[in-house]
Every structure is written in structure tokens, then in C-alpha cells.
Amino acid sequence: MMSPSAQTPSPAARAHRRRDLSGAPFLVAARGGRPDRLPVWFMRQAGRSLPEYRALREGVQMLDACFEPELLAEITTQPVRRHGVDAAILFSDIVVPLRAAGLDIDIVAGTGPVVAEPVRSEGAIAALPRLDPGQVAPVAEGVRLLVDSLGDVPLIGFAGAPFTLASYLIEGGPSRNHEHTKALMHSEPALWHALADRLADTALTFLRAQIDAGVDAVQLFDSWAGALSLRDYREFVLPHSAKVLAGVAEAGIPRIHFGVGTGELLPAMREAGADVVGVDWRIPLDEAVRRFTAHAPDAPPPVVQGNLDPALLLGSWSVVESEVRRIVGEGRAAAGHIVNLGHGVLPGTDPEVLTRVVELVHSL
């Protein structure tokens, strides 16, 4: 058995490990092209909707699973094998880098991330541990296993954006109104910016580790940004998300930026530096394109991802089919369209329905 250093190529060598999948439909569309078939994948495609996921996770804590290379690689691969999607997304979580850095944060099943001590003071922010790339080495190892095993299916890495991460830390767990976060943002802006900047650095370190290990694209999840006004988003959030997206630009791989309830924020989210913007189900894709173009007429034509309402997958197939056809039609207004849901797969979703959506999209 070679020593780890002999097995682990240098970051430069690892960066060259990236597969040449430039012809893959997901990457062609992400770069604003028209592939020979419409690409489709699903946010949270790995997860409790799959019996094989539930079997594998039996008795394994969520965050422990995220630090076991072979396990996270298998979980990532399950939806690719079952549905024939055009991209894999790394099985991880937005709180993984915080846990890796030593923060006392956990995931409560059915609820989400919970921190022992909400982060609301200058001292608590200063005490936040900084992430060392070595602390996410098991995730990077999982990426390398996937790069070697996924064949021509691109692998998407991801991180949580500063605002969404900050909300979990400040609120102490999931929050409907993010009131403590907004209060701190407005009453102690210097403190807010210090926290958001620290979280931007954490996201950057986590993404760079995934990129060096060979992911083909990255997605920045700012899931809860839709809670903000455009004014607050631009003042308090955009600069920090922009730091993350700019920080990974040199890798030359597509950067997807996504949030929920972001209809008013979409042009600003693209301005933050995204190559692709993920759109939720509340706004038609052609309307989203109109907003991008109105906001930045001289920018390159936008690439969009989405935007089927995940809840519809639990209803009748005839509705799903007509909605997918509508979304594909509206997506033609963009330079490139990656079909996806408008948010993650809901746990009670029948996996067969997801497979049928892939077949339908590939037939259009």
C-alpha cells in the first residue's frame, strides 16, 4: 500500500485530473450551448426518496456519512444509476465544512442543521474555527473515487452561501423568518459582514478542495436568500457570495447559483458571478430571462436551471408531464437550459416518477 502522500497527487496534478467531459449535455448547456439532448438532474436526488439510500444510511448518522469516502461516493452514484440523470451531485451538506472545522453543529433528521450555541456576538464570531483543507480530506477522497467511477457523467460539487449558512448559525437552526439574522444584519452591520466574510472563506476552502479533487461544476446554494429584500440582498449578501464565486472562477468550470423565492433577486444573483442561475418554480423561465436581459442588456445571454415544483411530483403524472413540457418550452428563451426542480426532491417522492421525468426530458 503506497503512503498517502504517494497516492495523493499535488493540487496542481489533481487539478489536471479533471476529466474532459466538454461534450456532456450538462456542461454544453451550462456553457450556453444547445446539446444534442436536454440535460436534467435533480437537487437532492440522493436522499430519502431512494430505498437504496435509506438502506445504506441505516444506523449511520447523516454527517458521519458525509465523511466516509466510499459511502458518500456510493450514495452520490445511486440516483445516477437509477434515473440516468445527466449530472451527479456530491452527497454532502452545506454544514459539512462547519462541522469539519470543529463547530458544534449537527443535523436533526426531518428538521435540519442545529447548532449548540447560536452565533450572535463578536466573541462568538471571532471564535468561529477556520476550515483547513485537510479537515475535508475525506470529502476530497470521495470526489476522487467518483471522478474515477462516474464515466462520462459530470460531478457537481457544492457549498452553502454565506447568508444561508449565517442564518443557521445565528438562528441556531432552521428558521421561517430569519429574524435574529436580519436584526444582527441591520443593528450590527460590521459584525454581520465579519461573519459573512468568514463564511465566504469557509465556502471557498470547501469548494476549492472539491475542485482540486476533480469536480466538473459547482453550485452555490443560497437556499434562504429569498427571505431578503433586493435592497438588503445587495447591501449585505451579494458582496460575500460574489467573493465565493469569484474565488473559484480560475478553475474555469461552470458556477451555478441557486436560491428559493428569489424572483426579485435573480439579476443580482447572476451579477454575483454565476454562469448559471437556478430558478425556483414561482417564476416562468422565460420571465426570468426577461429580467436578466432587462437588468444587464450587454451581458451574455443567460443560462438557467430549473424549475419544476417538487411538490407536483407527488401528484398525477399528467400534471407532471404537462408542466415539464411547459418548462422545456419556456427554457428555450435562455441561451442554455438545464432541467431541474425548483428546489430539492421531497422525501416522499416516488423514485419511479423521477426516472419518468428524465425519460420525458430526453425525449423532447
Ligand X SMILES: Cc1c2[nH]c(c1CCC(=O)O)Cc1[nH]c(c(CCC(=O)O)c1C)Cc1[nH]c(c(CCC(=O)O)c1C)Cc1[nH]c(c(C)c1CCC(=O)O)C2
Known catalytic residues are 44, 48, 57, 93, 168
CB atoms within 10 A of CB 323: 18
Is 223 near ligand X (CB under 6 A)? yes
Between residues 174 and 239, which has the closer beta carbon with respect to ligand X?
174
Contact 167, 115 (CB under 8 A): no
When binding is defined by CB under 6 A, the residue of 110, 123, 252, 297 that contacts ligand X is 110
What interhelical angle do 179-187 and 162-171 show, nearest 10? 110
Shortest Å, Cβ 53 to ligand X: 7
Distances (CA, A) of 136 to 29, 66, 145, 207, 270: 30, 10, 15, 10, 28
Cell of 338: 438545464
SS3 349: coil
Q: Is 290 one of the annotated binding-site residues?
A: no
When binding is defined by CB under 6 A, the residue of 24, 29, 46, 50 that contacts ligand X is 46
Q: Which of residues 335-354 bind ligand X (CB under 6 A)?
A: 343-344, 347
Contact segment (CB under 6 A) with ligand X among 42-50, 191-199, 234-242, 286-294 equals 42-50
Between residues 243 and 343, which has the closer beta carbon with respect to ligand X?
343
Cβ contacts of 95 within 8 Å, gap of 6 or more: 63, 105, 107, 113, 160, 165, 168
Cell of 352: 419511479
Is 113 near ligand X (CB under 6 A)? yes
Q: Tell me how far the alpha carbon of residue 151 is from its chain's centroid.
A: 21
Is 49 near ligand X (CB under 6 A)? no
Is 147 near ligand X (CB under 6 A)? no
- CA pair distance 38, 298, nearest whole angstrom: 26
Q: Is 46 one of the annotated binding-site residues?
A: yes
State the amino acid at position 56 in one-letter form.
L
Is 109 near ligand X (CB under 6 A)? yes
When binding is defined by CB under 6 A, the residue of 221, 236, 281, 292 that contacts ligand X is 221
CB atoms within 10 A of CB 338: 28
When binding is defined by CB under 6 A, the residue of 30, 43, 242, 245 that contacts ligand X is 43
- CA pair distance 53, 48, nearest whole angstrom: 6
Q: How many residues bind ligand X (CB under 6 A)?
A: 25
Alpha carbons within 13 A on the beta-carbon side of 333: 14
Between residues 83 and 243, which has the closer beta carbon with respect to ligand X?
83
Is 73 near ligand X (CB under 6 A)? no
Residue numbers of the site for ligand X (CB under 6 A)?
Answer: 43-48, 57, 62, 76, 89, 91, 93-94, 107, 109-110, 112-113, 158, 174, 221, 223, 343-344, 347
